[in-house]
Amino acid sequence: MSQACIESDGVSIRFGPVRALEAVSFAVPPGVVAGLVGPDGAGKTTLLRACMGLLYASEGNLRVLSHELPRDVALIKTSLGYLPQKLGVLAHLTVRENLEYFGALYGIEPALLRERMETLLRVTALAPFQQRQSQHLSGGMRQKLALSCALLHRPRLMLLDEPSTGLDPLSRRDLWELIYALLDEDGGGEPGGEQPPRSLLVATPSWEEAARCQWLLVLDQGRVAWKGDPARLTEQAAGLVWELDAAPGAHEKLDALPWVLSVGRRGGRLRVVVSREMPQAERPAPRAPGEALRQVLPHSNPHQVAATLQDALVLIRRAEQKARSGAGWGSAAPGPGA
């Protein structure tokens, strides 16, 4: 089995009294689109910069592409690609001129650069616009250009910091299709081959985008909330998510129940995540969630719905919080995955 493309063992990063990352441990498998998920301030950008050797760990060890950081940072520079939140393309240059400019910065031989440019223009569908200045491109097209510039030197590991921010839904979808196309395009790696598989780590605050990834690292206030297969995370909440009619006062009634871990609105209905351990009825067996919800809100028409990644993470967080507070019905799900 190939070695992890990023390995973190107890990494903590401090900015004065503030701990941006706290004892973060994980291993990103090679050859996947991995998601780095969390809200603003969770530590996503801090972790990406540490992986590039721009920030040093206060505690713990970090290895990228089998190299120890910060000691071996010079050895991985040509193997990394980075797309920051603020685009680095030059507004006054055309699409083609931007590619030529960044190719020269990477020191790519002219004939090889032309070949790689043609490939990227084709894959990104930017070929018809290659003579247009980047300032006159749409947001989605500029993002494709920035990603192409970062990929010219064929990095083995690509780090993308919230690449779809500000894009409309259609452009966001196109960008994700491009991400997977680039994973497969030229040098995706073959088992047993000489070249290791290309990997992408994509930071995003969006659970919709997280569902597109093949592996997840979920950060919450600088700590690991989950790591591993997205399907395994969703399984944690299977059978525990319900929707019901939102009558006046329903939200408050449900929020006060110790076995209800989360209540949120979805249109004219309420979405409820319940604990795996339900309260006892008069008979020895525990009540089913639907029966318990009908007793609290008789005309709410509760029905079970498919769980999402966000439902599962809410389940884990709230169960841990209620277990620590002694509120009861807290053992809903395990903590961070393997």
* Interatomic CA distance for residues 23 and 11, integer angstroms: 5
Predicted local distance difference test score (pLDDT) of residue 167 = 83
Tell me: do 35 and 181 sit in the same domain.
yes
- Strand-strand pairing, 59-64 and 67-69: antiparallel
Closest CA to 335 of 252, 213, 233: 233
pLDDT by 10s per residue, the chain, length 338? 468 999 999 999 999 999 999 999 999 999 999 999 999 999 999 999 999 999 999 999 999 999 999 999 999 988 999 998 877 799 999 999 999 999 999 999 999 999 999 999 998 899 999 999 999 999 889 989 999 999 899 999 999 999 888 888 888 888 898 888 877 764 444 444 456 678 999 999 999 999 999 999 999 999 999 999 999 999 989 999 999 998 888 989 998 888 888 898 888 899 999 988 766 554 444 568 888 898 889 989 999 999 999 899 888 887 667 666 655 444 444 556 65
> Does a structural domain hold residue 336?
no
* Interatomic CA distance for residues 85 and 126, integer angstroms: 21
What is the domain extent for residue 309?
241-325
Q: How many Cα atoms sit within 13 Å of 259 on the Cβ side?
A: 17
Domain count, the chain: 2
- Strand-strand pairing, 260-266 and 269-274: antiparallel
pTM: 0.84
Q: What is the DSSP string of 261-327?
A: EEEEEETTEEEEEE-SSPPB-SSSSBPPHHHHHHHHSTTS--EE----HHHHHHHHHHHHHHHHHT-
Tell me: do 144 and 217 sit in the same domain.
yes
Domain end among 171, 205, 228: 228
> Does a structural domain hold residue 13?
yes
Place of tokens 């910069």: 49
Tell me: do 29 and 140 sit in the same domain.
yes
Q: What is the DSSP string of 152-191?
A: TT--SEEEEESTTTT--HHHHHHHHHHHHHHHHTTT---T
Q: Residue 325 corresponds to which tokens in the numbers above?
A: 């507070």
Tell me: do 171 and 252 sit in the same domain.
no
